[in-house]
């Protein structure tokens, strides 16, 4: 198995801390041995001379540690939602969070049975009733000492993917998933590092994850600010941060290529990521931001935008949702599990992302029965091809919605 040396990484890195030494001939390893091959991923501290030597090594990739942050959910006031609306009360009355029906999971015969799903987030409240009967394998990559969720984001996302009904309310898209992998890559403040995310991705692949869900983003401004606080002029800080951004983009792309490789010994993997919440359409329709990293780091990642409910059974792009996602899913007024028990409503592309991860599990189950074999590429193709492009309000553009609203296999 490829080695993985785990050393605690500072949330905000020093300039000479470098991560992700990918040892061996990377292309040969990818071609010959998926997940259990010669690729190694480790973090270490290098001198300037060592970093330069490593950069010249054709069989290695290096990238400075960058801060990563949670894609924070937004309040109803932040998104201009109807103050009188109560998503939790509506879900309890309907016996389901609206997103479940919004993606067609309520009428699909698929449940996600036999599919292993990984959630890379703030951890999980494994004792929550929503996860009864789910075998959860967890690991902490933040130095917290536990993969327990004290933030709430990871528990909410996991509930949307594979949560069981809570107090008679359906919250999970893929309620038949019984094997889950949870990597705590963000601490209780929602902060982490690229080191943690890369290691967790590598680990999830080694654990046999078919689907990976992550709602987080590279924090370029935080790195630039820290460099300036360390005495570097603004232009130099920007240049260093941009270089780190590019190198981490290349690192993620290389690791994902490795994990998604398909051959007789590997079915590949589906990675789903939130597009980001930085757009401000409520201020000006032109105030939109493109999909953030790591969602945009690979063409094979399914980046997800967020939609809300509109009149006439239509969907409307959420004002905060970043543009050019692969597709979109419900992300406003989403009810799911809350740490400590019960349910809570949240808004964001972070809430849309787990809907699609759950759908990926449904399509992964559907493929063997209908096409003979499941694979990551097959699932990505099915989800994209079956997205609904014609169910939107007139203001929603192609750049807003991508292929459309992701949809479950038909009954």
Task: Evaluate whether 270 touches 380 at the Cβ level (below 8 Å).
Answer: yes
CA angle (99 as vertex; 395, 115 as ends), nearest 5: 125
Distance, C-alpha 72 to centroid of its chain = 13
Structure tokens at 72: 């924070």
- pLDDT per position as a tens digit, 172-217: 999 999 999 999 999 999 999 988 999 999 999 999 999 999 998 8
d(CA 318, CA 328): 10
Structure-model confidence comparison of residues 290 and 170, the more confident one = 170
CA dist list (Å): 153 to 232, 235, 366 = 34, 35, 29
Residue 13 has pLDDT above 60, yes or no: no
Q: What is the pLDDT of residue 67?
A: 85
Is 202 among the residues known to form the active site?
no
Q: Which listed residue (43, 121, 125, 303) is catalytic?
A: 121
**Helix H segments across 185-260?**
194-206, 220-229, 234-260
The mean pLDDT of 356-362, rounded to a whole number, is 98
Residue 97 has pLDDT above 70, yes or no: yes
Residue 148 has pLDDT above 80, yes or no: yes
Q: Give the count of beta carbons closer than 10 Å to the beta carbon of residue 56.
A: 8
Q: Residue 99 burial (CB < 10 Å; 0-12/13-18/19+)? A: buried
CA dist list (Å): 74 to 79, 95, 178, 343 = 7, 24, 30, 17
- pLDDT per position as a tens digit, 119-129: 999 999 999 99
Residue pointed to by tokens 């091809």: 385
Q: What is the pLDDT of residue 321?
A: 92
For residue 346, the cross-strand partners are 334
Is 57 among the residues known to form the active site?
no
Across the chain, which distance is largest between two alpha carbons, in Å? 64
Residue ranges of domains in the chain = 67-215+267-401
Structure-model confidence comparison of residues 47 and 142, the more confident one = 142
* Dihedral sign of CA atoms 245, 246, 252, 253 in order: positive
Q: Which listed residue (350, 375, 391, 403) is catalytic?
A: 350
Residue 16 has pLDDT above 70, yes or no: no
What is the band of 5 on the pLDDT scale with cuts at 50, 70, 90?
very low
User: CATH top-level class for 67-215+267-401?
Assistant: alpha beta
Q: Which listed residue (151, 153, 156, 202) is catalytic?
A: 153
Structure tokens at 393: 């309000």
pTM of this prediction exceeds 0.85: yes
CA dist list (Å): 411 to 111, 112, 128 = 11, 14, 30
Is 350 among the residues known to form the active site?
yes
- pLDDT per position as a tens digit, 189-201: 999 998 899 999 9
Classify the phi-psi angles of 324: left when phi > 0, otherwise alpha if psi is within -120 to 50, otherwise beta.
left
Structure tokens at 360: 């990926």
* Dihedral sign of CA atoms 405, 356, 81, 163 in order: positive
């Amino acid at each position: 198995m490829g080695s993985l040396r785990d050393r605690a990484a500072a949330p905000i890195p020093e300039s000479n801390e470098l991560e992700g030494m990918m040892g061996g001939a990377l292309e040969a390893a990818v071609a010959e041995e998926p997940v259990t091959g010669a690729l190694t991923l480790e973090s270490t501290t290098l001198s300037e001379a060592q970093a330069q030597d490593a950069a010249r090594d054709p069989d290695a990739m290096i990238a400075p540690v960058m801060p990563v942050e949670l894609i924070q959910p937004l309040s109803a006031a932040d998104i201009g939602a109807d103050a009188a609306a109560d998503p939790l009360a509506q879900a309890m009355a309907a016996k389901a969070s609206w997103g479940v029906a919004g993606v067609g999971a309520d009428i699909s015969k698929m449940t996600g049975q036999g599919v292993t799903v990984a959630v890379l987030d703030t951890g999980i409240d494994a004792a929550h009733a929503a996860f009864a009967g789910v075998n959860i394998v967890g690991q902490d990559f933040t130095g917290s000492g536990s993969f327990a969720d004290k933030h709430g984001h990871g528990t909410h996302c996991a509930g949307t993917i594979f949560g069981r009904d809570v107090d008679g309310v359906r919250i999970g898209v893929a309620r038949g998933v019984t094997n889950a992998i949870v990597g705590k890559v963000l601490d209780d403040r929602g902060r982490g590092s690229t080191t943690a995310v890369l290691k967790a991705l590598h680990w999830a692949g080694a654990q046999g994850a078919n689907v990976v869900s992550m709602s987080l983003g590279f924090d370029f401004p935080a790195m630039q600010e820290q460099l300036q606080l360390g005495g570097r002029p603004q232009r130099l800080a920007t240049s260093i941060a941009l270089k780190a951004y590019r190198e981490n983009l290349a690192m993620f792309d290389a690791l994902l290529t490795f994990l998604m490789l398909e051959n007789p010994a590997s079915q590949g993997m589906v990675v789903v990521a939130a597009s980001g919440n930085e757009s401000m359409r409520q201020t000006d329709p032109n105030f939109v931001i493109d999909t953030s990293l790591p969602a945009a780091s690979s063409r094979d990642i399914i980046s997800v935008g967020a939609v809300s409910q509109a009149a006439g059974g239509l969907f409307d792009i959420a004002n905060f949702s970043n543009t050019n996602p692969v597709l979109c899913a419900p992300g406003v007024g989403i009810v799911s599990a809350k740490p400590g028990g019960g349910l809570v409503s949240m808004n964001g592309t972070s809430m849309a992302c787990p809907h699609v991860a759950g759908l990926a599990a449904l399509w992964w189950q559907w493929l063997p029965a209908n096409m003979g074999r499941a694979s990551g590429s097959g699932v990505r193709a099915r989800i994209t091809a079956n997205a609904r492009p014609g169910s939107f309000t007139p203001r929603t553009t192609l750049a807003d919605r991508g292929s459309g609203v992701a949809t479950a296999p038909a009954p």
